[in-house]
């Protein structure tokens, strides 16, 4: 007799505590042995996720409570990784919507909730972080109800159950006045409000592929939900491809989920989430089915990308010095491999064989791909991100973003002025606690390119900025994105302290003395709107005359550190970002000035 099952996804805005809450559920379900060393955010297993403190890939885990197997899927909060959220919501029958008791619903809360309501799920709302000062739990519940109504939820969905919780302290409770003990109330709500999976174990097998994994030993592993039928290890099955063709294969390994690990099982029936090995060329959205009666499930649809960049083979003077994979064939193979697991990504070949047009959900989505590739040893260069325009009802349209700023009171005027110049339209303004104000804007996506650096200056580093895709609207006209000119090296060599010190009054530098530079490389930002060519390799003329001030300690201004995201936002339309495993360099497209003029 198989266990009763509940399949549930955890959705929320970034940093509202999804992964910490899953930690508490896992620890209290007894899957870790006593004394076992368990890291925080145990579900964030990817090194990039741990460094940035965000979830990038959706992951499965399973816990047992009162003889019921609860499959939990942890999803990313960033709208840039919305493709992950959209595909896993088809695996589950219910979801936990987590909202910060202080911030309330945020742009990505709207995005993930909209996707859940479209799938017909009835969320259980968890107001998290109630232990924080300035928390307003009942206010957050009211805002969530407003959001449900705004997104067109039906009456049943609007009657959502809600709990108050602290993922960090590991408790949930129905009433604020009660003492929080543990996560038992949340487990009880899952059993009561998440329906058991629908599916008929007597029908022919249908399993939809929603996630792909890879093992050195087993090859490609597909993870998905059994919609109908029963699957057994060693049985013959058929894979219905996207184009309708059928590939037959044997299920070499069948695995279920238990805590954080996969356990080998002999059989699983409708409603279960399983991992299957044996289908080397399966892709996301395809169906594993019975070979005698192959019946495909509808393919998974995800929103189209909104931002595009050109990936180029590196052709700078330093090309091939730092990377292991530098050719166009290696770059193409890697991008095509990424397409297999990254459903929201698109890759097209450009007009020349050394260029590829890569489209994604946003700068963070593409930035994570670039960072992953450089860590794997790839060397390439990318252009400035460009928005993707569409024609709707014969009208040219562009993507708009919903932008929410949380800023100190004194920065309000400057932010409203700059966003107005970038065609932003203010939707809401709320004065919060501690002299902070929340502003909400609808703004063209191209108006946000390069805004983050400016925003940090306007808010003196104290502002918080969140945005997510809103919809496509008519073209907004010219967007004013002001940026000073850049300082360009016109010599190849090593930057010297002497040259940088003498040019300090011309602007700020991105490099330090000792940095190797080449002709056409961008080494800093000029104080004025025009670009400036500078010899940063110039050395001091030595004489045999002793200087009276020679022993004074002279210090250089601290350089501006260019992280990958910051550099992507900074580069202009005639500039490139050179990415290698060791360095990130900004450069002009044409190294030769005469070539640039031509």
* Confidence at residue 42, expressed as pLDDT on a 0 to 100 scale: 46
Annotated binding residue 543 = no
pLDDT per residue over 475-504, tens digit each? Answer: 887 777 666 888 999 888 898 888 888 888
> What topology does CATH give the domain 303-388+479-598?
Alpha-Beta Plaits (3.30.70)
Annotated binding residue 227 = no
Whether 226 contacts 206, CB under 8 Å: yes
pLDDT band at residue 379 under the 50/70/90 scheme: very high
Mean pLDDT of 136-153: 85
- Give the whole-angstrom CA distance, residue 335 versus residue 376: 13
Query: Exposed/middle/buried for 516, CB within 10 Å: 0-12, 13-18, 19+?
Result: middle
Indicate the CATH number for domain 5-193. Answer: 3.40.50.300
Q: 408 — phi, psi (to 5°)?
A: -65, 155
- Give the whole-angstrom CA distance, residue 116 versus residue 93: 10
Q: Which residue has the higher pLDDT, 76 or 262?
A: 262
* Confidence at residue 105, expressed as pLDDT on a 0 to 100 scale: 80
Annotated binding residue 19 = yes
Asked if pLDDT for residue 598 goes beyond 50, the answer is no
**CATH topology match: 206-289 vs 390-474:** no
* Confidence at residue 296, expressed as pLDDT on a 0 to 100 scale: 82
Average pLDDT, the chain: 81
Asked if pLDDT for residue 1 goes beyond 50, the answer is no
CA 384 to chain centre: 19
Annotated binding residue 129 = yes
Q: Which residues fall within 8 angstroms of residue 265, CB to CB, at 6 or more apart?
A: 233, 254, 255, 256, 274
- Give the whole-angstrom CA distance, residue 374 versus residue 155: 49
Beta strands 307-313; 355-360: pairing state: antiparallel
pLDDT per residue over 29-76, tens digit each? Answer: 665 444 444 444 444 455 555 555 555 556 678 888 888 888 888 777
Lowest mean pLDDT among 32-46, 53-67, 102-116, 330-344: 32-46
Q: Which residues fall within 8 angstroms of residue 200, CB to CB, at 6 or more apart?
A: 228, 229, 270
Asked if pLDDT for residue 297 goes beyond 60, the answer is yes
* Confidence at residue 381, expressed as pLDDT on a 0 to 100 scale: 92
pLDDT per residue over 229-260, tens digit each? Answer: 888 888 888 888 877 888 888 888 888 887 76
- Domain range annotation of the chain: 5-193, 206-289, 303-388+479-598, 390-474
Asked if pLDDT for residue 385 goes beyond 80, the answer is yes
* Confidence at residue 36, expressed as pLDDT on a 0 to 100 scale: 47
DSSP 418-433: HHHHTT-EEEEEEE-S
Mean pLDDT of 375-382: 91
Whether 166 contacts 128, CB under 8 Å: yes
Annotated binding residue 98 = no
pLDDT band at residue 330 under the 50/70/90 scheme: very high
Architecture of domain 206-289: Beta Barrel (2.40)
Beta strands 486-489; 532-534: pairing state: parallel
* Confidence at residue 243, expressed as pLDDT on a 0 to 100 scale: 79
Asked if pLDDT for residue 227 goes beyond 80, the answer is yes
Whether 12 contacts 147, CB under 8 Å: no
Annotated binding residue 18 = yes
Asked if pLDDT for residue 369 goes beyond 70, the answer is yes
Whether 569 contacts 578, CB under 8 Å: no
Asked if pLDDT for residue 342 goes beyond 50, the answer is yes
DSSP label of 2: P
Query: Is the overall model pTM greater than 0.85, yes or no?
Result: no
Asked if pLDDT for residue 520 goes beyond 70, the answer is yes
Mean pLDDT of 10-21: 76
Query: Exposed/middle/buried for 434, CB within 10 Å: 0-12, 13-18, 19+?
Result: exposed
Lowest mean pLDDT among 78-92, 176-190, 426-440, 569-583: 78-92
Annotated binding residue 94 = no
- Give the whole-angstrom CA distance, residue 483 versus residue 480: 10
For domain 390-474, say whether CATH 3.40.50.150 is its number. Answer: no
Annotated binding residue 154 = no
Whether 160 contacts 124, CB under 8 Å: yes
* Confidence at residue 38, expressed as pLDDT on a 0 to 100 scale: 47
Residue owning tokens 């059994």: 226
Mean pLDDT of 173-187: 81
- Give the whole-angstrom CA distance, residue 264 versus residue 255: 4
- Give the whole-angstrom CA distance, residue 483 versus residue 465: 20
């Amino acid at each position: 007799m198989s266990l009763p099952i509940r399949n549930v996804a955890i959705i929320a805005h970034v940093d509202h505590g999804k992964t910490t809450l899953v930690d508490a559920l896992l620890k209290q379900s007894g899957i870790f042995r006593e004394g076992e060393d368990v890291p925080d955010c145990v579900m964030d297993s990817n090194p990039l996720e741990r460094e940035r403190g965000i979830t990038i890939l959706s992951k499965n885990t399973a816990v047992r409570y009162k003889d019921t197997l609860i499959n939990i899927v942890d999803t990313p909060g960033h709208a840039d990784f919305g493709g992950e959220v959209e595909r896993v919501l088809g695996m589950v029958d219910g979801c936990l919507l987590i909202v910060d008791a202080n911030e309330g619903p945020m742009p990505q809360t709207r995005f993930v909730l909209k996707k859940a309501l479209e799938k017909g799920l009835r969320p259980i709302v968890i107001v998290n972080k109630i232990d924080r000062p300035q928390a307003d739990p009942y206010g957050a519940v009211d805002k969530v109800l407003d959001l449900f109504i705004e997104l067109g939820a039906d009456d049943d969905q609007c009657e959502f159950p809600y709990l108050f919780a602290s993922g960090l302290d590991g408790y949930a409770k129905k009433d604020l006045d009660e003492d929080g003990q543990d996560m038992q109330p949340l487990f009880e709500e899952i059993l009561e409000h998440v329906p058991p999976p629908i599916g008929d174990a007597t029908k022919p097998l249908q399993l939809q592929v929603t996630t792909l994994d890879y093992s050195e030993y087993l090859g490609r592993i597909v993870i998905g939900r059994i919609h109908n039928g029963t699957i057994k290890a060693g049985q013959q099955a058929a894979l219905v491809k996207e184009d309708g063709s059928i590939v037959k294969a044997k299920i070499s390994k069948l695995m279920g989920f238990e805590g954080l690990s996969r356990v080998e099982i002999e059989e699983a029936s409708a409603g279960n989430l399983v991992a299957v090995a044996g289908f080397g060329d399966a892709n996301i959205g395809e169906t594993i089915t019975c070979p005698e009666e192959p019946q495909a499930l509808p393919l998974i649809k995800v929103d189209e990308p909104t931002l595009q960049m050109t990936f180029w083979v590196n052709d700078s003077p330093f090309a091939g010095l730092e990377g292991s994979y530098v050719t166009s064939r290696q770059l193409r193979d890697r991008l095509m491999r990424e397409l297999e697991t990254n459903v929201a990504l698109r890759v097209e070949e450009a007009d020349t064989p050394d260029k590829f047009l890569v489209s994604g959900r946003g700068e963070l989505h593409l930035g994570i791909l670039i960072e992953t590739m450089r860590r794997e040893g790839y060397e390439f260069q990318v252009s400035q991100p460009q928005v993707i325009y569409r024609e709707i009802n014969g009208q040219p349209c562009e993507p708009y973003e919903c932008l929410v700023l949380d800023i100190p009171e004194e920065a309000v005027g400057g932010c409203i002025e700059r966003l107005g110049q970038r065609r932003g339209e203010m939707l809401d303004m709320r004065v919060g606690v501690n002299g902070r104000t929340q502003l909400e804007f609808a703004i063209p996506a191209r108006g946000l390119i390069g805004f983050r650096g400016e925003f940090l200056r306007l808010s003196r580093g104290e502002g918080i900025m969140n945005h997510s895709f809103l919809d496509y609207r008519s073209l907004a006209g010219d967007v004013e994105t002001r940026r000073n000119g850049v300082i360009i090296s016109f010599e190849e060599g090593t930057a010297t302290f002497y040259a940088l010190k003498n040019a300090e009054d011309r602007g700020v530098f991105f490099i330090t003395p000792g940095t190797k530079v080449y002709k056409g490389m961008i080494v800093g930002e000029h104080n004025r709107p025009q670009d400036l060519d500078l010899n940063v390799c110039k050395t001091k003329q030595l004489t045999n005359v002793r200087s009276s001030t020679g022993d004074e300690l002279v210090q250089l201004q601290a350089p501006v550190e260019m992280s990958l995201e910051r550099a992507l936002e900074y580069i202009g339309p005639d500039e490139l970002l050179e990415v290698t495993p060791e360095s990130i360099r900004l450069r002009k497209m044409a190294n030769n000035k005469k070539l640039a003029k031509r």
